[in-house]
Amino acid sequence: MTMDSAARQAPGRSRTSSNQATPIPDYDAWATDSSSRWWLQHMLAESGVDALDDRHVERLRAVGTVVGSVHMRDAADRANRNDPTLQAWDGYGSRIDDVRFDPAWDEVFGAVNSSGVCGLPWLDERAGYLVRAAAMEQWARLDIGVMCPVTMTGAAVPVLLRDEDGPGAEMARRILDAAAAGTGRDHPSMGMAMTEPQGGSDLSGSSTVAIDQGDGTFLLHGHKWFVSHAVADALLVLAREPGVGEGSRGLSCFLVHGWLEDGSRNGIELQRLKDKLGTRSLASCEVVLDGARATRIGEPGRGVPTIIEMVVHTRMDCTIGNAGILARAVGEAVNHCRTRSAFGARLVDQPLMRMVLADLLLEREASLAIAYEVARGFQVADRVTRLVTAVAKYWVTRRAVQGCIECVETLGGSGYTEEFVLARLYRDAQVNSTWEGSGNVMAL
């Protein structure tokens, strides 16, 4: 026997590990989620809808198959490991202000858009909000970074529709037509630009100005501090019209297309990408508006009340999104405990661990109940929905962060490593408690 062969047979040289949790294989995320199916059916009944149309049933089945696939889960991981990069200039010295994404981002983004979620509330007035909530909660388990532009695109529709025969309504029709057709990667997208360096959520000191050109258009000049998905087809932007008013009452809402008809950038300069704690797949930018051509949406000086309708919708999705993140995290924790043993028994059979898992499952159930209740409020146009949405966002997003921490601890050292998805889920859950107003900001 040679030394090499002896070494290969020596104890301790095994290349496989025993007592390790097994990866979750392909599964149907919707078919195996009895809780989500129950809450959807319950809230549909509460909204006066007896049963889902077959097309919605097939839609949710298709979403569940994609979300549960190993291929798509790996794609979401790649999109977060390979950060987007800013390409401000091309090789010939021309300013292009573009962002390059990993192909995995395009794959996940296209899959989400192809499910038509951006248009469901307006394409089906009976059940659209609730079906959308079910689909979005599933998609959020993959990657909340990709969900951000999807959320903003759908949330912008009611604001754009106010511009009845103008560019806003035209953009809304593009979005709804793409959603109805199941358009994937080429689906039009929206973003919004409100916060500035000097104020953050306090918009009263916003200094971006809109100069009336006398032809129904404006030129915008200013600095926006945090713009998620600045490479969207169009942005809703708050800017100040001189002479309209002081503080937040002087702000109007404007539609700014990302590119002009000749293909050049519309006065939107991307200064840098934010180096964020989580949502690494999402290109959040600092933006300078240098003569960006825009049209006003809504009345002069009514920008905050106009855009707040978009904000209320995105707050709903913060709630739904963190319900999905928590569902994924709890699923990973349960899988680990079912297949890992310690001190003579599987973790799932250890009394203390069973108590931890039971508590996590209750948290997950509560987050689902609240998320679906918010969606039901939108479905039936409940008058208190705006208030309930803010409260739900505060509670569910904060509790999901704590739940993810518990799930990380359930996996022990493995949960703390980047090889497992829980570290990303924990980081990503933080964004929804901050985005669209942290707890204290919403209460002000």
Mean pLDDT value across the chain: 94
Asked if residue 240 belongs to a domain, the reply is: yes
Q: Does 318 lie in the same domain as 238?
A: no
Query: Which CATH number is 422's domain given?
Result: 1.20.140.10
Asked if residue 80 belongs to a domain, the reply is: yes
Stated pTM of the model: 0.94
Asked if residue 12 belongs to a domain, the reply is: no
Q: Does 346 lie in the same domain as 315?
A: yes
Q: Does 342 lie in the same domain as 279?
A: no
Total number of domains in the chain = 3
Asked if residue 244 belongs to a domain, the reply is: yes
Query: Residue 381's pLDDT band (boundaries 50, 70, 90)?
Result: very high
Asked if residue 1 belongs to a domain, the reply is: no
Question: pLDDT tens across 148-185, in order?
Answer: 999 999 999 999 999 998 999 999 999 999 999 999 99
* Statement: residue 5 has pLDDT above 60: no
Query: Residue 71's pLDDT band (boundaries 50, 70, 90)?
Result: very high
Question: pLDDT tens across 96-106, in order?
Answer: 999 999 999 99
In the listed set 270, 303, 336, which residue is the last one of a domain according to the structure?
303
113-127, 198-212, 390-404, range with the lowest pLDDT: 198-212
In the listed set 303, 338, 356, which residue is the last one of a domain according to the structure?
303
439 vs 308, higher pLDDT: 308
In the listed set 148, 181, 214, which residue is the last one of a domain according to the structure?
181
Asked if residue 13 belongs to a domain, the reply is: no
Mean pLDDT of 192-220: 92
Query: Residue 443's pLDDT band (boundaries 50, 70, 90)?
Result: confident
Query: Residue 17's pLDDT band (boundaries 50, 70, 90)?
Result: confident
Question: pLDDT tens across 327-355, in order?
Answer: 999 999 999 999 999 999 999 999 999 99
Q: Does 164 lie in the same domain as 111?
A: yes
Q: Does 232 lie in the same domain as 287?
A: yes
User: For residue 32, what pLDDT is reported?
Assistant: 97
Query: Residue 15's pLDDT band (boundaries 50, 70, 90)?
Result: low
Question: pLDDT tens across 246-255, in order?
Answer: 899 999 999 9
Q: Does 45 lie in the same domain as 177?
A: yes
What is the share, in percent, of the chain residues with pLDDT greater than 90? 89
Question: pLDDT tens across 292-329, in order?
Answer: 999 999 999 999 999 999 999 999 999 999 999 999 99
Query: Which CATH number is 295's domain given?
Result: 2.40.110.20
Q: Does 266 lie in the same domain as 385?
A: no
Mean pLDDT of 282-297: 98
Q: Does 417 lie in the same domain as 388?
A: yes
User: For residue 301, what pLDDT is reported?
Assistant: 96
Q: Does 420 lie in the same domain as 311?
A: yes
Query: Which CATH number is 53's domain given?
Result: 1.10.540.10
Query: Residue 421's pLDDT band (boundaries 50, 70, 90)?
Result: very high
The Cβ of residue 68 has, within 10 Å, a number of other Cβ atoms equal to: 23
6-20, 29-43, 209-223, 289-303, range with the lowest pLDDT: 6-20
Q: Does 245 lie in the same domain as 290?
A: yes
Q: Does 66 lie in the same domain as 149?
A: yes
Range of the domain at 387: 305-443
Query: Residue 203's pLDDT band (boundaries 50, 70, 90)?
Result: confident
Asked if residue 90 belongs to a domain, the reply is: yes
Q: Does 140 lie in the same domain as 172?
A: yes
Asked if residue 177 belongs to a domain, the reply is: yes
